[in-house]
Amino acid sequence: MVDQRRFDNQPKDFLDAKAAAKLLGIEVRTLYAYASRGLVRSVRGGRGLKRHYARDDLERLRTRSGARAGHGAVAAGALRWGEPVLDSAITQITPRGPAYRGRLAIDLLGTPFENVAEMLWSGYLPGEPIIWPRTALSLSQLGKLVPVTARPLEVMSLLVPLAGIADTQRSDGRPDAIVARCRLLVPLLAASLGWSAGAAQVTRALAAPSIAEICVRALGLADDALAAISTVLVILADHELNASSFAARIAASTDADPYACFSAALATISGPRHGSAAETLAQFADSIGSPERAAKIVREMRARGEALPGFGHVLYPQGDPRTAPLLALARGSSHKRARTIFAIADAVADQRQVSAPMYPSADVGLAALVASFGLAPAAGSGLFAVARSAGWLAHVLEQRAAGYLLRPRARYTGLPVTP
Give pLDDT tens digits for 134-154: 987 878 778 888 888 999 999
d(CA 107, CA 69): 36
211, 182 Cβ separation under 8 angstroms: no
Q: Which of 222, 354, 361, 347 is nearest to 295 (CA)?
A: 347
Q: What is the CATH number of domain 94-406?
A: 1.10.580.10
Rg (CA), the chain: 23
pLDDT at 282 over 70: yes
DSSP state of 192: G
- Cα 220 to Cα 204, 265, 380: the distances in Å are 11, 26, 14
Domain segments of the chain as ranges? 5-79, 94-406
Q: Is 223 annotated as catalytic?
A: no
Q: What is the pTM of this model?
A: 0.81
Beta strands in 251-325 (DSSP E): none
> One of 167, 313, 320, 395 is an active-site residue; which one?
313
pLDDT in the model for residue 66? 56
> One of 167, 257, 320, 363 is an active-site residue; which one?
363
Torsion of CA 51, 52, 56, 61, to 10 degrees: 60
Give pLDDT tens digits for 172-192: 999 999 999 999 999 999 999
pLDDT at 49 over 70: no
Specify the 3-state DSSP secondary structure of 90. Answer: coil
Q: Which of 97, 88, 124, 185 is nearest to 399 (CA)?
A: 88
Q: Give 2's pLDDT tier (boundaries 50, 70, 90).
A: very low
What are the residues facing 39 on neighbouring strands? none
93, 240 Cβ separation under 8 angstroms: yes
Fold of the domain built from segment(s) 5-79: Multidrug-efflux Transporter Regulator; Chain: A; Domain 2 (1.10.1660)
Beta strands in 74-191 (DSSP E): 91-94, 97-100, 103-104
pLDDT in the model for residue 306? 82
| Angle, alpha carbons 349-384-122 (nearest 5°) | 115
Q: Is 313 annotated as catalytic?
A: yes
